[in-house]
Chains A and B, each alone.
Chain A
Amino acid sequence: AQTVTQSQPEMSVQEAETVTLSCTYDTSESNYYLFWYKQPPSRQMILVIRQEAYKQQNATENRFSVNFQKAAKSFSLKISDSQLGDTAMYFCAFVSGTYKYIFGTGTRLKVLA
């Protein structure tokens, strides 16, 4: 069975600093997609970044970047120059050709002023 694991239930970071959120997954598939979604206190789910497994280049979106290690089945999210608005729950998610998205349990990130 495919699984997604986020081992850090809570993290905090000082404003303007860099933080890395961890995500590991388990699959026997070779082609799949990985995502990081953000859920602020408003409860709205927002896509942060998306990675296609067949692309070796790590995805980046402004201050957000990933470290995708396919062999290690690791997909961490790095947030640079953290801002107060980055305070949210962050979910890692996976899908591989079945439409059955699997989400991790989330990491609650708090950015401190």
Chain B
Amino acid sequence: NAGVTQTPKFQVLKTGQSMTLQCAQDMNHEYMSWYRQDPGMGLRLIHYSVGAGITDQGEVPNGYNVSRSTTEDFPLRLLSAAPSQTSVYFCASSGDRLAGGGDEQFFGPGTRLTVL
């Protein structure tokens, strides 16, 4: 199993550009999520999904869109990048055996995004 994979590993954007961060998992997990990690702020939840076709907002959703058309994939879209979105982005998944969360989350390696 590859686990949770993220592409790209690094990305530099100019303000106003759009891009999609890719996330895929091969563990047949129902729950997937996106976090951003900023210095001194820990990880903050952006969006999450409890299954194909179902998504919901986390703590910091503004400026980001998600969709979940398959169990395996959960892309994160930045429609118009801003310098405030400079961060490290992590995708995670879990088996969702417990309603509402509680299972171990498996994390991807992260994407370091810089917006100039």
Q: Could you tell me the distance in whole angstroms from the C-beta of B103 to the nearest C-beta in chain A?
A: 8
Which stretch of B11-19, B36-44, B63-71, B74-82 is in the interface? B36-44
Inter-chain CA distance A50–B46, complex, in Å, is: 22
Query: Which B residues form the contact surface with A (CB < 8 A)?
Result: 31, 33, 35, 40-45, 48, 50, 56, 58-59, 88, 90, 92, 98-102, 104-105, 107, 109-110
Say yes or no: A99 contacts B101, CB within 8 Å. Answer: yes
Contact of A101 with B105 at beta-carbon distance under 8 Å, contacts A43-B110, A45-B92 already known: yes
Say yes or no: B104 contacts A101, CB within 8 Å. Answer: no
Q: Could you tell me the distance in whole angstroms from the C-beta of A21 to the nearest C-beta in chain B?
A: 14
Say yes or no: A100 contacts B58, CB within 8 Å. Answer: yes
Interface of A is mostly: loop
Which stretch of A12-20, A69-77, A103-111 is in the interface? A103-111
Inter-chain CA distance A45–B4, complex, in Å, is: 11
User: Is A22 interfacial (CB 8 A cutoff)?
Assistant: no
**Cβ contact of A45, chosen from B50, B56, B90, cutoff 8 A:** B90
28 pairs across A/B with beta carbons < 8 Å? A4-B42, A6-B42, A32-B102, A33-B98, A45-B90, A45-B92, A45-B105, A46-B107, A52-B102, A93-B43, A96-B100, A97-B101, A98-B100, A98-B101, A99-B33, A99-B50, A99-B56, A99-B100, A99-B101, A100-B58, A100-B59, A100-B101, A101-B43, A103-B43, A105-B40, A105-B41, A105-B42, A106-B42
